[in-house]
Chain A
Amino acid sequence: MIKQILFIITLLITFGVFAYSVTRLWGFFRLTKPAYPIKNIGARISHTLNVAFGQAKIFRKPVIGLMHALVFWGFLVITLGSIEMVVDGVSGLDRAFAFTGWFYDVVIASGDVFALLIIIFIKLFSIRRMFLKVKRFSGVEMTSKANWDAQLSLFFIGFLMVSLICFNMGYISNHPNGYEGVYPVSATLVNLFGWDFSWLQEPGWWVHILLIFTFANYLPYSKHFHVFLSIPNVFLANLEPITKYPNLESITREVKLMLDPETAYDENAEVARFGVKDVEDVSWKNYMDSLSCTQCGRCTDVCPANITGKLLSPRKIFVDLRKRMDEKGPLAIAGKEDNKSLLRDYISEEEIWACTTCNACAQECPIDISHPNLIMDMRRYLVMEESAAPAGLNVMFANIENNGAPWQFSPEDRMKWTE
């Protein structure tokens, strides 16, 4: 009974803190602009099954991809076990889901095996991050804070698994005459040592559940928020061809008005800034992308500009967006301003202009972030609000305007190629 009360109090605190974090982020989302309408639910579900649950894009790097996929699938199974633990904690039951029979055995057995695999892979990930010089784990946006965040997340995940196995071992020792579920790893360990582990059950259970609660509340402030948001981010992904850059509707209205002055002028149309200068100009999807990004750097790894030593790193665009929202969001909600902006104070013009819009980054991103479209949104601001394009581009614009071609040729000569 005391355990139940203690647990319920802990659970309420966990939910309370989490609700605070979500409300804070919700407020930030409310500052953003609309994105595309979410339609084609069927296509979205199959896309999510393929890219999120099937880990399709993760496997573009087969070895490390398989390790990630196993950790991910393991997490899914173990989460079912965690839900049971919460139910047990609240109700005072023991193994509340055991009535599901063979299904329970499969889930618990695979969770037990996955726990061991995850411990091994997490250790390897951690060592790789510390001692191997993986190029994509470097860059200006990969601050020591970002690295600590990564290591701390790995530590959480590793100890979640250790405590789970400890709990299982304790549970097995406590039930010498038969128990619910199947435990290939934990049972082997108990037999191997031949000791009485019954004392491990309670501390194992508490440590595991408290780690889950702490981790869950750490995540909204970590790049590892990825754990919560990557699946919805894939579900809500832009399903259009990646090189389709949506037309700006406010411009369509203006152009129609210019070409045909008879067009009725819509006075109610919102006069918004063209393009993106700061966080309030981005769409909710851009912001969600920034919260879902776990900074794996696969985007930057394939960026032709980055490969050839330019400043641009597609990952940095989204890391910066999230940081700037953390700074600007609370101010904007309080109706205040600072004299900074995402563009220039975080992301330089030099970065923005280095993009070839080749979409290698978007192709690679395991959670379907479109970096080039946000980069081009910032170009829109620079060009249409400030006329701040590089000289060569201004020449190109003038040529298109005057001759209908990006080079200085007369439209009269358009058939010369046939001669």
Chain B
Amino acid sequence: MTIETKIDVPVMADVTAKGEKPEYLYWVGCAGAFDDRYQKVARAFAKILNHLGVSYAVLGKEESCTGDAAKRAGNEMLFQMQAMQNIEILNGYEVKKIICTCPHCYNTLKNEYPDLGGNYEVINYAVFLDEMIRTGKLKLENNPFKGETITYHDPCYLGRGNGIYDAPRNVVKAVFGEVKEMKRARSYGLCCGAGGAQMFKEAEKGDKEVNIERTEEIIERKVDKVASACPFCMTMLTDGIKLKNKEAELQNLDIAEIIEKALNL
């Protein structure tokens, strides 16, 4: 267990007070800020940004839920209130480029904010990391996972929603060399079960939980690791692995955590 130390993450209000204008805004998202497990992913990504020396900042206390979950649960009123408040803050800082780790935040900021006056270049971290690897800015020379196999679980809002299938795979391959695909992969990918605000409610009656169906498919693939790129997928898969008592043989890693480990950050 590594000792968690404070990492240096620039906050927009402070940076602006110094008269600087960061190139990117890192949209941390509520899961990155508050979810115990996913905080590690936000930390990993911030460490990578620091390692790269990228000019960026986060909104910190000024960041608020994008409203995605409220929108998909039918509460358009709450969604638009959130959206307009966020847009006011983002436009206030004259933000041009936003990087998101969460695909739900990404989809909402990229596809649903423009009609409300929020026009930004919204970049998903998988695409960003892929680009950094391809252009040689991220040099991945050692593989801390030597001899281990991995599969990749497609988040619906990244893949089907926004056509991002290759970038996260390229990131995984850069360290693991190979992704052992599941039968339901890419546009055929099976949902983890948490989208559309399912994360926040009890599932309806059925034969089994969606995350168990997916976890069983991952277990069948006989891999040591499963990579994901979404906070909800991470919760669902981690829970599924726990319920199946497979924690010793199979772990869920975010693509940013793979890079963090490979760079020994």
- How many angstroms from the CA of A405 to the CA of B65 in the assembled complex? 5
Given A251-B80, A304-B210, A405-B65: A356 and B196 interface contact (C-beta under 8 Å): yes
Flag whether A411 is at the interface (Cβ < 8 A).
Answer: yes
- Residues of B38-70 at the interface with A, using a CB-CB cut-off of 8 Å, are 39, 42-43, 46, 58, 60-61, 63-65, 67, 69-70
- B residues within 8 A CB of A353? 201, 204
Q: Would you give the shortest CB distance from B33 to chain A, in whole angstroms?
A: 5
Flag whether A39 is at the interface (Cβ < 8 A).
Answer: no
Interface size counted on chain A using CB atoms at 8 A: 72
Is B78 touching A414 in the complex (CB atoms < 8 A)?
no
Could you tell me which B residues sit within 8 Å of A by CB distance? 4, 6-9, 11, 28, 30, 32-35, 39, 42-43, 46, 58, 60-61, 63-65, 67, 69-85, 107, 111-112, 115-116, 156-157, 160-163, 187-191, 193-210, 212-213
Q: Would you give the shortest CB distance from B171 to chain A, in whole angstroms?
A: 21
- How many angstroms from the CA of A307 to the CA of B80 in the assembled complex? 33
- Residues of A373-419 at the interface with B, using a CB-CB cut-off of 8 Å, are 376, 378-384, 389-393, 395-397, 400-401, 404-407, 409, 411-419
- B residues within 8 A CB of A254? 77
- B residues within 8 A CB of A401? 78
Is A384 touching B75 in the complex (CB atoms < 8 A)?
yes
Is B73 touching A397 in the complex (CB atoms < 8 A)?
yes
Write 30 A-B pairs (CB below 8 A) sorted by A numbering: A241-B107, A245-B72, A248-B76, A258-B81, A259-B81, A304-B190, A307-B213, A308-B207, A309-B205, A309-B206, A310-B203, A310-B206, A354-B203, A356-B191, A356-B198, A357-B156, A358-B195, A378-B74, A379-B74, A383-B75, A391-B201, A395-B200, A405-B33, A405-B65, A406-B199, A409-B33, A414-B28, A414-B60, A415-B33, A415-B58
Other than the given A243-B161, A259-B84, A360-B156, 13 more pairs (CB < 8 A) read A241-B111, A305-B204, A381-B74, A393-B75, A397-B75, A406-B30, A407-B30, A413-B34, A414-B60, A415-B11, A416-B34, A417-B32, A418-B8
- B residues within 8 A CB of A360? 156, 160, 188-191
Could you tell me which A residues sit within 8 Å of B by CB distance? 60, 240-248, 251-252, 254-256, 258-259, 274-275, 302, 304-305, 307-312, 350, 353-360, 362-363, 372, 376, 378-384, 389-393, 395-397, 400-401, 404-407, 409, 411-419
Q: Quick one: closest B residue to A251, CB to CB?
A: B76
- A residues within 8 A CB of B77? 251, 254-255, 384
Is A308 touching B210 in the complex (CB atoms < 8 A)?
yes
Q: Which 9 A-B pairs give the minimum distances between C-beta atoms?
A: A379-B74, A243-B161, A309-B207, A357-B196, A404-B64, A358-B191, A392-B201, A309-B206, A383-B74
